[in-house]
């Protein structure tokens, strides 16, 4: 049996307990704060302690999604964790999450990887699993979890962040219904961003990576536009909102311009003043309003796209129900996907369940010295048979945390403050 309606039924975000204000970092680095705040569009970035790793973030996000949308763990038949900061070259993050969430033993569990495309890859796999009828009425839990870390005093330092977004995928979605017929894909081998097996930190060619991102967007759009009936459904003018991968907030502005150029078949220059004004107005209407969470959390790799989508869905009014949005995911290396979806009827009644602002308001603001101490401590957190990690050291609340590695095995435990 083929299922025609598939989409996002539930959503939740979980991030670290601490953050760093970008103005504080700028002053400490001898940089004009405007370079980070206006140049990148970032106001703050989440800072994970040594006890908060990809696994613990994913567990917390998954637990929130199930609890806040009243979904029993027994309803989950597939678990996919998309990440580019996994904790093992073989063992998937999903197995740890599966255990701590109490999912059934006949639940399919995988880790999906393609840099920042990993979360979207898990989502499309989950949708296909449901659409083909193999889910047999069950739901899928997809979690995009990552820690973007570049190190102290590096060019990438102001584009760090951490967090996890959990999505429950269902054939009766309460938030967003995906269009199964109109989609675009793009893949090409490039070396714009990569992390060798021997390196803790990624290597990147920043300007080249932006160029690859924009080329992939144009390629994915062209593929989507080639599908039957696409001409009636993909034009920007008919979209209520456009969502893009957001490694830093200002990247979304570059992406929307390229999206517009791809659709209208021309590259804009400074001589196209009137057209540039149209693009700017479109950005202000369809993209900019949904970037608040990204600006206060920072880069979370696979989850950055969904953070923008969450910002939109938490604000959705009844008048927007039934409207179409575009969802573009990019992963370095590179791969991209462009999907289209419709806001589900009744979505406006669900905003209180997924709004993360209360959780974000509880975060503790670090000074730069505290931030640097956490970064240095994280360097040795994975040392085998190292000192056991104690969540109280970092003033963490109750939850499941990483406690260190013993006999080459990662240790996790419930901490009750």
* Residues involved in catalysis: 84, 116, 245
Residue 276 exposure: Cα atoms within 13 Å on the Cβ side: 8
CA distance 360 to 223: 38
CA distance 94 to 350: 27
The stretches of 169-269 forming alpha helices (DSSP H) are: 206-225, 249-264
Instruction: Kindly report the number of other CB atoms within 10 A of residue 100's CB atom.
Output: 18
Instruction: Say which residues have a Cβ less than 8 Å from residue 239's Cβ, sequence separation at least 6.
Output: 286, 323, 324, 325, 326
Rg of the chain taking only CA atoms, in angstroms: 20
| Cβ proximity of 340 and 233 under 8 Å | yes
Q: Is the dihedral of CA 292, 298, 299, 303 positive or negative?
A: negative
Is the bond leading into 268 cis (omega within 30 degrees of zero)? no
CA distance 389 to 392: 9
Q: Tokens 């062209």 — which residue? A: 222
Instruction: Kindly report the number of other CB atoms within 10 A of residue 316's CB atom.
Output: 21
179: which 2 tokens?
A: 């269009």
Instruction: Say which residues have a Cβ less than 8 Å from residue 112's Cβ, sequence separation at least 6.
Output: 80, 81, 82, 118, 119, 121, 122, 125
CA distances, 238 to each of 14, 80, 181, 324, 342 (Å): 32, 32, 17, 7, 12
184: which 2 tokens?
A: 């675009």
| Cβ proximity of 302 and 82 under 8 Å | yes
The b-or-e profile of 5-36 (16+ CB within 10 A means b, else e) is ebbbbbbbbbbbbbbbbbbbbbeeeeeeeeeb
CA distance 166 to 414: 20
List strand residue ranges (DSSP E) for 230-388, in order: 241-243, 324-331, 335-343, 364-366
């Amino acid at each position: 049996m083929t299922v025609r309606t598939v989409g996002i039924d539930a959503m939740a975000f979980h991030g670290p307990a601490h953050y760093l204000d970008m103005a504080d970092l700028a002053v400490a680095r001898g940089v004009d704060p405007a370079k980070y705040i206006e140049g990148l569009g970032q106001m703050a970035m989440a800072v994970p302690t040594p006890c908060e790793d990809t696994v613990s973030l994913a567990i917390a996000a998954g637990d929130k999604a199930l609890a806040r949308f009243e979904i029993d763990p027994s309803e989950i038949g597939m678990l996919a964790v998309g990440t580019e900061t996994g904790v093992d070259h073989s063992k998937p993050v999903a197995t740890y999450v599966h255990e701590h969430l109490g999912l059934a033993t006949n639940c399919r569990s995988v880790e999906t990887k393609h840099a920042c495309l990993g979360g979207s890859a898990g989502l499309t796999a989950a949708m296909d699993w449901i659409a083909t009828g193999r889910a047999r009425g069950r739901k899928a839990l997809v979690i995009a979890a990552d820690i973007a870390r570049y190190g102290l005093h590096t060019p990438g330092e102001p584009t760090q962040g951490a967090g996890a977004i959990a999505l429950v995928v269902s054939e009766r979605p309460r938030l967003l219904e995906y269009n199964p017929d109109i989609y675009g894909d793009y893949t090409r081998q490039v070396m714009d961003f990569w992390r060798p097996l021997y390196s803790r930190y990624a290597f990147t060619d920043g300007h080249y990576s932006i160029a690859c991102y924009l080329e992939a967007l144009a390629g994915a759009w062209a593929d989507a536009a080639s599908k039957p009936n696409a001409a009636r459904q993909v034009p920007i003018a008919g979209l209520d909102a456009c969502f893009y991968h957001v490694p830093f907030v200002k990247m979304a502005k570059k992406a929307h311009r390229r999206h517009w150029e791809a659709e209208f078949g021309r590259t804009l220059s400074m001589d196209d003043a009137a057209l540039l004004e149209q693009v700017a107005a479109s950005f202000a209407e369809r993209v900019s309003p949904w970037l608040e969470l990204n600006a206060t959390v920072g880069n979370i790799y696979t989850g950055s796209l969904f953070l923008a989508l969450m910002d939109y869905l938490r604000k959705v009014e009844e008048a927007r129900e039934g409207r179409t949005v575009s969802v573009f995911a990019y992963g370095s290396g590179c791969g991209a996907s462009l999907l289209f979806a419709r806001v589900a009827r009744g979505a406006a009644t669900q905003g209180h369940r997924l709004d993360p602002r209360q959780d974000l308001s509880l975060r503790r603001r670090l000074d730069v010295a505290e931030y640097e101490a956490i970064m240095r401590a994280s360097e040795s957190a994975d040392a085998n048979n190292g000192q056991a990690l104690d969540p109280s050291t970092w003033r963490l609340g109750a939850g499941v945390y990483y406690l260190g590695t013993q006999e080459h095995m990662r240790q996790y435990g419930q901490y009750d403050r």
